[in-house]
Amino acid sequence: MSNNSNALNRLKAIAQQQANKSSHLYGDSIVKRESLQSNDSKLITQSLNKLIDWINNNSNTKSALKDLDSRGIYPSMFQLFNHYDLEIVRLVVRAIKIVALKDAATNEILRSLDGVHLLEQLLEQYYDAEILNDAATAIECLRRCAPYSVRGVGFGKYSEQTGTFQWYLEFYQLHFDDVGVAWRVWDGGIGLAKWVLDNPSIFEGKDVLELGSGVGVCGIAAGLISKNVLVTDYTDKIIQALQDNVKRNMRLTSQLKNVTVQALDWVNDDVPSPFGYEVIIGSEVIYDVKLVEALANVIYLSLTPNGTFYTTCATVREGIPEFIKAMQDRDFNVEQTNFPSHYIPDTKFDVYFFKCTKKNTLLKLQQQKE
């Protein structure tokens, strides 16, 4: 009898302990990371519902989303994808979709947590209509690659304290039917832009030329640290969008002053003279075998001796071996490496990085003579 009452008391104490713990977690007005990390399905479900209501009803959405970030809620939400409970996965995806719809800056955080891949995995794992719809919408928001959408991209260090990136730029995107492949911000463009900002010694104090700028992600970002950047592309509609995006970002950040726009068609224009750049960038510009000769020519004619062209290129693109040959034919030293994946953690394809340095042929000829 006494043994039984002891066991009963012990069980009661444990239950009380758990109740205290739960009431501490349930009773709080905000959801804590610990509650999402618990093994208690009921607590997780309640917390997720509370979180969804809280985001939906919070009038100051941006600060609410920052607050979730500072409490480590986003990684905990993604961890719940592995949960066995269908209802929990449904709620997590709904919460992520709601967060992703609200704020482009938050999307950068979700992307850096590999949100796109994690959501894509759900598309393969589940047949539940709600999960599929919400996951697809969230992926679209994270990529922000809908026509005529504004794609926000955070660059540099992210401060958990202020919930902001060192730099935040926005790019108005176009429609494929109007401007072909120039229509959107490409992952290789974001990646190269981040690499540029990570390598200021190459760009600071320099005049930089960008070829095939599209909507301008890499060139405009390079404008944050370079002396001057000339961004170029070749149709009126793209040039207009580039001008709009330069203006938009000059309003967003006072650091951006010296970015100018000019039309330059690799195939039909002569390279303006004088046009001697030490540094040229151009992300995702190798994609069409028919264009690589014209592209290589423009690079050759626009670079000073010993100048360098930097580009990123998804490994699946066409024209890569032809581009390498075209550059080597022009006596360039071509270094091809795998682009570090941390610059574009959620891209679908691996990306190459090319550093093409123009050999100082004149100097070589002079040295041979001497």
C-alpha angle 76-78-84 in degrees, rounded to nearest 5:
100
Site for ligand SAM in 225-264 (CB under 6 A): 233-234, 238
To ligand SAM, the closest distance from the beta carbon of 306 in angstroms equals 24
Distance of CA 267 to the CA centre of its chain: 30
92 touches 115 (CB < 8 A) = no
Q: Which residues are within 8 A (CB) of 75 and not within 5 positions of it... i.e. 6 or more apart?
A: 113
For residue 214, state whether it binds ligand SAM (rule: CB under 6 A): yes
Which member of 76, 149, 173, 213 binds ligand SAM (CB under 6 A)? 213
Contact window for ligand SAM (CB under 6 A) among 25-33, 97-105, 277-285, 340-348: 277-285
Considering only residues 217, 242, 296, 303, which one is a binding residue for ligand SAM as defined by CB under 6 A?
217
Supply the DSSP symbol for 288: -
Distance CA 218, CA 189 (A): 5
Q: Where are the beta strands (DSSP E) in the chain?
A: 150-159, 164-172, 207-210, 228-233, 259-263, 277-281, 303-314, 332-338, 351-358
The number of residues that bind ligand SAM (CB under 6 A) is 22
| Rounded-to-integer distance, Cα 251 and Cα 255, Å | 10
Evaluated on CA atoms 208, 213, 218, 221, the torsion sign reads positive
The stretch near ligand SAM (CB under 6 A) out of 45-53, 64-72, 265-273, 299-307 is 265-273
Instruction: Count Cα atoms within 13 angstroms, Cβ side, for 348.
Output: 8
Residue 92 or 285 having the CB closest to ligand SAM: 285
For the chain, give me the number of helices (H) and strands (E)? 17, 9
Verify binding: residue 353, ligand SAM, rule CB under 6 A.
no
Least Å from the CB of residue 194 to ligand SAM: 12
d(CA 233, CA 219): 11
Contacts of ligand SAM in 171-200 (CB under 6 A): 181-182, 185-186, 188-189
Pick the closer one to ligand SAM by CB: 91 or 281: 281
Q: Smallest gap, in angstroms, from Cβ of residue 122 to ligand SAM?
A: 27
Q: What minimum distance in Å lies between the beta carbon of 143 and ligand SAM?
A: 13
Using CB under 6 A as the binding rule, whether residue 309 contacts ligand SAM is answered as: no
We find the least distance from the C-beta atom of residue 287 to ligand SAM, in angstroms, to be: 5
Measured in degrees and rounded to the nearest 5, phi and psi for residue 331 equal: 65, 35
Query: Is residue 291 a contact point for ligand SAM (CB under 6 A)?
Result: yes
User: Closest CB to ligand SAM among 91 and 295?
Assistant: 295
Q: Which amino acid is at 214?
A: G
- How many CB atoms neighbour CB 58 within 10 A? 14
Residue placing its CB nearer to ligand SAM in the complex, 163 or 188: 188
- Tell me, rounded to whole angstroms, the distance of Cα 209 from its chain centroid: 22
Cβ proximity to ligand SAM, 96 vs 256, nearer residue: 256
Q: How far is the CB of 168 from ligand SAM (least distance, A)?
A: 17
Query: Does residue number 266 form part of the binding site for ligand SAM (CB under 6 A)?
Result: yes
What does each C-alpha distance from 318 to 103, 129, 300, 353 come to in angstroms? 35, 36, 21, 15
Residue 347 in the binding site for ligand SAM (CB under 6 A): no
Is 138 one of the binding residues for ligand SAM (CB under 6 A)? no
Give contact residues for ligand SAM (rule: CB under 6 A): 181-182, 185-186, 188-189, 212-214, 217-218, 233-234, 238, 265-267, 283-285, 287, 291
